[in-house]
Amino acid sequence: MRILTAVKNKFSSLFPSSETLKNDYGSKAFYEKYFGSKNSISKTRAMQITTVFGCDRILMETASSVSLHLYHVVEDGKLKAKDKELYNLLNLQPNPLMTSSTWRKMMIHDINMRGTHFAQILRNRRGEVIAIYPLIHDSMTVEQRENGEPVYIYQTKKHGRVIFPKEKILSIFTIPDDNGLTGISPIARVMREFVYADTLQEFGQNFFNNGANPTGIFRKDGVLEEKAFYRLKNDLAENYRGLKNSGKPMLLEDGLDFTRLTIANNESQFLESKKFSKEQIASIFRVPTHLLNGYDGATFSNIEQLSQEFIQFTMLPWFTTIEQELMVGLIPKKEQPNFKILFNVDSLLRGDYQSRTEGHATLWRIGALNQNEIRAKEGRNKIENGEKYYVEMNMTPIETKLKEDECQK
């Protein structure tokens, strides 16, 4: 406990959580390098797009809801390495400030919005990992030495530049940049789609702020005097603009006639454009639209299959990337053959109750699972004599069957 408290105090004094640090994300140079356009959108602005927020939240919460374990590799499989401090760090609490679930949410959010998640690795004198602290992405610069090794430079207000070697930093990303040292976020790779979605959302907001009514034309014979023109302009802005003035009758003077432009919102394909933009962003994050309350193409019969495909084709690549980075970053190379770091995806792949029970029964009948193993998968306690394996009596090796057939001939 004293060690953890000392680590916490040392880390907090070195990297205060309240400090504001340099942020190059969203700058013209950054996006022109990867996108080639002056149009850009910041992380904060992107998170205000409903679909972006929804996709990010789904990925964060899915990754944080799955157990993350350290295993000993044994001759007949693997065993949970509960005797190692790293087991508790990964599964429960990587540092005294947060849980493993919170850390993984931060990890996924960083990768989605920034491209890379950085974390500092603290070790004791024996080289064992005793804490893992997430770092602020925008304060980190990665440079490459002549020998190809990366160097991580962290900028702080109190201590200035702090240089970390590779073995003290976790660097996790899914889409590598040109040199493979850091990652690129989906926002930077497909900027136009996010700018388009942001424009649509702003259009919709302005549309409803103006009373959800299209504009119109004022007609008058002759020229309106300058004083009357500005009086009309101010009167319209103060008394007839916005939702609170929606439906309010308009008082016109001096022979003015108002003609409304009756172009309906759906006729300008606003709703269709919003739907298309939602589908495009969901495809960028590889999140099925039914998880975002979009049920086009989803039916009662196929919605479970769509959910399973999300786990298989979206989350499993995420899990594999994180598992490998944790293995390389946290376990010494000579010890890596003796350990595995794995997400327990069984809870995500369980399917409906009928499918699970039929699968368990099939594996039990062929002796692949015993009763206690089945009960463990269903979250139930062991029972007495539940470790025995059973096979059906009428099953026989195929060689025996062939010999019987040959004798009958």
pLDDT 10s digits, 124-165: 999 999 999 999 998 999 998 888 789 999 998 888 899 999
Per the structure, the complete domain to which residue 403 belongs is given by 351-409
* pLDDT of the residue at 35: 39
* pLDDT of the residue at 168: 95
* pLDDT of the residue at 16: 39
Same domain, 103 and 39: yes
Same domain, 108 and 177: yes
Residue 55: exposure state from Cβ atoms within 10 A (0-12, 13-18, ≥19): buried
* pLDDT of the residue at 271: 45
* pLDDT of the residue at 220: 67
Can you give the three-state secondary structure of 144-186, one letter per residue? ECCCCCEEEEEEECCCEEEEECHHHEEEECCCECCCCCCECCH
**Are 391 and 367 in contact, with CB atoms under 8 Å apart?**
yes
Same domain, 105 and 244: no
* pLDDT of the residue at 212: 44
Q: What stretches in the chain show pLDDT beneath 50?
A: 1-39, 208, 212, 243, 262-268, 270-272
* pLDDT of the residue at 348: 78
Total domain count for the chain?
A: 3
Same domain, 278 and 409: no
In the beta sheet, which residues pair with residue 217?
259
Euclidean distance between CA atoms 345 and 357, whole angstroms: 18
Same domain, 62 and 107: yes
* pLDDT of the residue at 22: 35
Q: Positive or negative CA dihedral for 334, 337, 338, 341?
A: positive
Global pTM reads 0.69
Euclidean distance between CA atoms 252 and 230, whole angstroms: 14
* pLDDT of the residue at 84: 95
Q: Report which secondary-structure segment, H or E, holds 283.
A: helix 270-285
Per-residue pLDDT tens over the stretch 279-289: 888 888 899 98
Residue 384: exposure state from Cβ atoms within 10 A (0-12, 13-18, ≥19): exposed
Residues counted in the chain: 409
Same domain, 243 and 136: no
Q: Give the orientation angle of helix 191-209 with respect to helix 270-285, to 10 degrees.
A: 140
Looking at 237, 261, 285, which one is the last position of a domain?
Answer: 261
Same domain, 200 and 251: no
